Amino acid sequence: MCDNTLRRQYEALGITAPVYEYGMKILETLEERFQQIDRTAEYNQLKVIHAMQECRVSEACLLGTTGYGYNDLGRDTLEQVYARVFHTEDALVRPQITCGTHALALALMSNLRPGDELLSPVGKPYDTLEEVIGIRPSRGSLAEYGITYRQVELLADGGFDYEGIRKSITEKTRLVTIQRSKGYQTRPTLSVERIGELIAFVKGIKPDVICMVDNCYGEFVEEREPGDVGADMVVGSLIKNPGGGLAPIGGYIAGTGECVENAACRLTSPGLAKEVGASLGVLKDFYQGLFLAPTVTAAALKGAVFAANLYQPLGYGVVPDSVESRHDIIQAVTLGSPEALIAFCQGIQAGAAVDSHVVPEPWDMPGYDARVIMAAGAFVSGSSIELSADGPMKPPYTVYFQGGLTWPHAKFGILRSLQSLVDRGLVAERCLKSGKEAPGDCRKTSK
């Protein structure tokens, strides 16, 4: 296909020549980065296939059950596959786990008891966990069950406060929770290597402490997973990376046999644990989604790298920056004004295949302490592995972009977000013609 034909297709979808040409200039610099992403995807694809073959996945595994779900071959085999992929003793992978927050709450509530203390050595957890823990009072929180909480902030440079962590680990410390991704913060995402260093430090102080990793947005970004570096539990959502865009619901907990059994008893009932829980016809999507996950994650990673390289030269703060290594699929862009945050998200929505005509607006969402704007025209509602963006309506007005089931869609969505800013006069079109760092008046930060 000649470049003019492709350019006309972008033009038909609302991308003007200056935005298109600016995007193409950026892409010319990313060939080596994309090759690295593809190599990681290939390794992880083979890892998933190997696990499926070792567990003897068969056509019968795709059928599913109803009712109690006794002797559900596909469900049980899928959990064996997850345990092999994440290098853990066991796994719980169920449609009855409704989302990532539910999976994390389940892992915490099933492995903590009254009088125990939960420690976060990486600062504040994601907003929706505040009510789970009881940082913000909520019915049924850990605090209501007599489970205390403390956290140690990261150092100014993003490093671990090892001395602060040492002082915070006491006889009561039962579980340490490590959030891999940044959440609504601009701190660096934690690499698997750094997670392993932190786990080793904690275990050196108290060997029997449970180390849980919130793995959301991080699966298949690297060749290793937290289970490879000593995590007792690895927790995530199936409508993010590991579901490959096909899983319609669900979450997973992979970890030690004891931790997973505790979670199963909490999810279903003591005495029943993993023996019940019908798979309800979703197993084919769970298996095929996992099979596709490495390449889908790679597409999202390319989108994140492209976004950072697109917005940084225009003077926007980006985390990670345009050259940093990547450990999750999220790209934070600090836009500096509510107008720019809304414009970015509305541009992403306009780039969707589903609900592109919908105009997202900020609104009050359960579990958050500020109004949030979310853009997500998705085949699976709320699926963060699909093209999406969101952010809290508070300074510094940072948007968190992620997803794209295919690289071409991620690319188009990012260009559409920039086009939205240009159309509203929030980015000067003349700045797109410069390959160098844009001058300070190229973007408008407030009205």
In 3D space, the residue among 87, 103, 319 whose CA is nearest the CA of residue 190 turns out to be 319
For 39, phi and psi rounded to 5 degrees?
-65, -40
- Domain check: are 307 and 420 in the same one? yes
**CA distances for 368 relative to 108, 126, 292, angstroms:** 20, 9, 32
Of 395, 189, 431, the residue nearest 301 (C-alpha): 189
Does one domain contain both 386 and 355?
Answer: yes
What pairs with residue 332 in β-bridges? 319, 400
Residue 50 lies in a domain: no
Q: Are residues 246 and 311 in the same domain?
A: no
Same domain for 98 and 243? yes
For residues 342 and 423, give the distance between their C-alpha atoms in angstroms, rounded to a whole number: 13
Residue 325 within a domain = yes
Model confidence pLDDT, tens digit, residues 121-160: 999 999 889 999 999 999 999 999 999 999 999 999 999 9
Same-domain check for residues 151 and 265: yes
Question: Is residue 288 situated within a structural domain?
Answer: no
CB-facing half-sphere around the CA of 231: CA atoms within 13 A: 31
Q: Are residues 185 and 254 in the same domain?
A: yes
CA dihedral 194, 195, 200, 201 (to 10 degrees): 70
248 and 299 share a domain?
A: no
Decide: helix, strand or coil at residue 428: coil
Is there a domain that residue 200 lies in? yes
Round to whole Å and give the CA distance between 246 and 238: 9
pTM: predicted TM-score of the whole model, two decimal places: 0.94
Q: Which of 281, 311, 339 finishes a domain?
A: 281
CATH code of 21's domain: 3.90.1150.60
Residue 91 lies in a domain: yes
Backbone dihedral angles phi then psi of residue 211, each to the nearest 5 degrees? -105, 115
Nearest residue to 221 (alpha-carbon basis) of 258, 192, 259, 184:
192
Contact 405, 386 (CB under 8 A): yes
Contact yes or no for 104/129 (Cβ under 8 A): yes
Instruction: Decide if 51 is inside a domain.
Output: no
Q: Which helix (DSSP H) or strand (DSSP E) does residue 295 occupy?
A: helix 283-311
Same domain, 93 and 37: no
Residue 57 maps to a domain: no
Q: Are residue 20 and residue 144 in the same domain, yes or no?
A: no
Residues 243 and 314 in one domain: no
Cα distance between residue 239 and residue 245, in whole Å: 6
3-state SS assignment for residue 369: coil
- Residue finishing a domain among 247, 281, 315: 281
SS3 at position 56: coil
Two structure tokens written together for 9: 């297709």
Query: In tens digits, what is the pLDDT along the chain, a chain of 447 residues?
Result: 568 899 999 999 999 999 999 999 999 999 999 999 999 999 999 999 999 999 999 999 999 999 999 999 999 999 999 999 999 999 999 999 999 999 999 999 999 999 999 999 999 999 889 999 999 999 999 999 999 999 999 999 999 999 999 999 999 999 999 999 987 777 889 999 999 999 999 999 999 999 999 999 999 999 999 999 999 999 999 999 999 999 999 999 999 999 999 999 999 999 999 999 999 999 999 999 999 999 999 999 999 999 999 999 999 999 999 999 999 999 999 999 999 999 999 999 999 999 999 999 999 877 677 899 999 999 999 999 999 999 999 999 999 999 999 999 999 999 999 999 999 999 998 889 754 444 445 666 544
**CB contact set of 141 (below 8 Å; sequence gap of 6+):** 131, 132, 133, 134
Nearest CA to 38 out of 301, 307, 325, 218 is that of 301
CA gap 142, 274 in Å, rounded:
23
Residue 71 CB partners (closer than 8 Å, separation 6+): 65
CATH of the domain at 76: 3.40.640.10
Residues 323 and 418 placed together within one structural domain of the fold: yes
From 232, 258, 281, the end of a domain falls on 281
The answer as to whether 447 is a domain residue is no
How many structural domains does the chain have? Answer: 2
Do both 70 and 214 map to the same domain? yes
Residue 188 belongs to domain spanning: 64-281
